[in-house]
Amino acid sequence: MKRVCMIGSGYVGLVTGTCLAELGHRVICVDKDESKISILKSGKIPIYEPGLEALARKNTKLNRLSFTSSVMEAVQASDFVFIAVNTPPLKDGGADLSFVEACTREVARSANKFKLLVEKSTVPVKTGERIKKTLEVLSPAKPYLEVASNPEFLREGSAVKDFLHPDRIIVGVQSQRAENMMRELYAKIKAPIIVTDINSAELIKHASNSFLSLKISYINSIAQICEKVGADVEKVAEGMGYDARINRAFLNAGIGYGGSCFPKDVSAFIKIAEEVGFDFQILKGTAAINHAQRELVLKSLKEALWTFKGKNVGILGLSFKPDTDDLRNAPAIDFIQILLAEGAVVKAYDPVAMDKMKVHFPQVEYCASPYKVAEAADALLIVTEWEEFRKLDLNKIKSLMNTNIVVDGRNIFDPMTMKKLGFTYHCVGRSPKAWDKKA
Ligand code: NAD
C-alpha cells in the first residue's frame, strides 16, 4: 500500500486517484475548488464518467479514498504527490503552466520528508526541469522532492477501463529509486512499463495526441477528395484500416476532433517546436484542416436551409464525443453560437450534457428525447455519435419533422437507407456516385 496525494480532482485526477485506491493504495484527492470537494465528500462525482461513481464510493467506504481542499494536509500524509491540474491553452497556443507552477509552490511549502512529485498533467517537454529548478529555489535546504513524469492516456467515456487496463505505462525518471517507486505503485496493472528520461516521457504524450489528431485530419482530407471524385470515405477508411500498420482507429471522417486535449495539445506542440526552432508544418496543417471541417459541416447545413433565420434547427449531441458530458471545445458550442446569431431557433438533445450546456446557452430548448427535437424541425444536425442515435426510429423522426433534411456530421447512418426513407441526407466524404447506382 502506497500513500498518494492527487492534486487536481478533475477528469484525470479523480479517475487516477480512484483507480489507484482500487489498486489498494491510500489516496487523498485534493482540489482548490471547494464546491467540487463537497460534492465528492457527499458520495457523488461532479462529472459523467461511466463506472467512476460506484468505484469512488466503494473505495471511500474502504477508507482508501478521501477528499480535501488542503494541499498541505494531503502532501504531508503521502509519499507520492501527483500533479493532475489543468494546463489550458494560452492565446499564443502554448500551454498555460500557471496552475502547475502554483501547485509546485504549494507542494514545496508543504513537503516535510522525501516525496516523489509526479507530473500527470500534460505538460510541454522540459517542464520537469522547470519544476526541479523551482523546487531548488523554494526549498534549497530541503531536497525532499524528486520529480517524475507519468503522462496519462485515458479517454473520457472509458477512463476507468483505460486506466486499469492501459496499453502501456510511461514513466519518466531520473533515478533508480524513483523508477522502483513507480513500478511498485503500478505493480498490479498488467501492462508494459516504458521507463525513459523525463523529457522523453513528456514528449511521448504530446507526440501521441498530435499523431492521433493528425490521423483524423488526414481522413478528413481524404473525405474532401472523395466528395470531389465520387468515392466513399467510409470504404476508403475500411480498406486502409485492415492494414495493421495503419489501423482503422481514428480514421473517422466528420466534424473533426474537439475536447479538452487534442486541440490544445496540437497547438502546444506547434508552440514547443517553434520555441526550439522547428516549424511543425504537418501539425499546423492538422489544426487548419480540423478547423475547416467544422465550417464545412455548417456550410452544408446552410446550403440545405438557404438561410438560418427563423428556421427550427434540431441538434443531436452536445458533448465533444459520446459517453462524456465534457463540453470543452465541443463543436456543438460553435454551431449553436452561429445558429443563434443568425436567427435560428435551436432545440437540442444529449443524454448527459444538457445541464452543462444550459449554462452556456439558456435560450436553447433542451428536449427530453431526440423525437422531441425532431418535432417541427426544418433540419436535424448530428454533432455527437451517441450510440442511441444509431438506433433511432427514422420513420418516426421523418414523420415529426417539417422537412426531410438531416446533416450528419458523424456519418452514423447508411446514405442509401436514408435516401430510401425519403431523407435529404448530407454526410461527410460519401459521394452518391459511390453508393447510389442511380446517381
Ligand atoms: P480538469 O480541469 O477537469 O481538472 C483540473 C482540476 O485541477 C480542477 O478541478 C481544478 O480546480 C484543479 N486545480 C487547479 N489548480 C489547482 C491547485 N493549485 N490546487 C488544487 N487543485 C487545483 O482537467 P483534466 O481534464 O482533469 O486535465 C488535467 C490534466 O490532464 C491536463 O493537463 C490535461 O491535458 C491532462 N489530460 C487530460 C485528459 C482528459 O481526457 N481530460 C486525458 C489525459 C491527460
Q: Which residue has the cell 426544418?
A: 378
| Strand partners for 421 | none
Between 239 and 135, name the one with better pLDDT: 239
Ligand 1-lining residues (CB < 6 angstroms): 7-13, 30-33, 36, 71, 84-87, 99, 102-103, 121-122, 152, 154, 156, 260-261
Mean pLDDT, the chain, integer: 96
Q: Which candidate in 19, 103, 261, 427 is catalytic?
A: 261
Closest residue by CA, ligand 1 atom 3: 10
Q: Taking CA 104 as the corner, what is the angle to CA 98 and CA 110, rounded to the nearest 5 degrees? A: 140
Closest residue by CA, ligand 1 atom 25: 11
The alpha carbon of 72 and the centre of ligand 1 are apart by a number of angstroms equal to 19
- State yes or no: is 103 an active-site residue: no
Provide the total of helices (H) and of strands (E) in the chain, helices listed first. 19, 14
% residues pLDDT > 70 (the chain): 99
| Index of the ligand 1 atom closest to the CA of residue 12 | 26
pLDDT tens profile 247-286: 999 999 999 999 999 999 999 999 999 999 999 999 999 9
Q: 294 vs 174, 301, 338, CA distance in Å?
A: 43, 11, 12
Of residues 86, 133, 93, the one with CA closest to residue 275: 93
Query: Which amino acid would we find at residue 340?
Result: L
Q: Which CATH superfamily is domain 3-196 in?
A: NAD(P)-binding Rossmann-like Domain (3.40.50.720)
Q: Where in the chain is the domain with CATH 3.40.50.720?
A: 3-196, 211-435
User: Under a CB-based contact definition with an 8 Å cutoff, are residues 145 and 106 in contact?
Assistant: no
Per-residue pLDDT at 112 = 86
Q: Taking CA 178 as the corner, what is the angle to CA 112 and CA 268, rounded to the nearest 5 degrees? A: 95
Closest residue by CA, ligand 1 atom 38: 12
In this predicted structure, the answer to whether residue 226 has a pLDDT above a threshold of 90 is yes
Residues 6+ away with beta carbon under 8 Å from 209: 122, 261, 262, 265, 266, 269
Beta-carbon count within 10 A of 241 CB: 15
Look up the pTM and report it: 0.96
d(CA 71, CA 68): 8
* Ligand 1 pocket mutation, candidates 6, 86, 87, criterion most atoms within 8 A of CB: 86
User: Under a CB-based contact definition with an 8 Å cutoff, are residues 206 and 255 in contact?
Assistant: no
Structural fold of domain 211-435: Rossmann fold (3.40.50)
d(CA 40, CA 28): 12
The alpha carbon of 321 and the centre of ligand 1 are apart by a number of angstroms equal to 18
Helix 281-305 and helix 331-341: axis angle, to 10°?
40
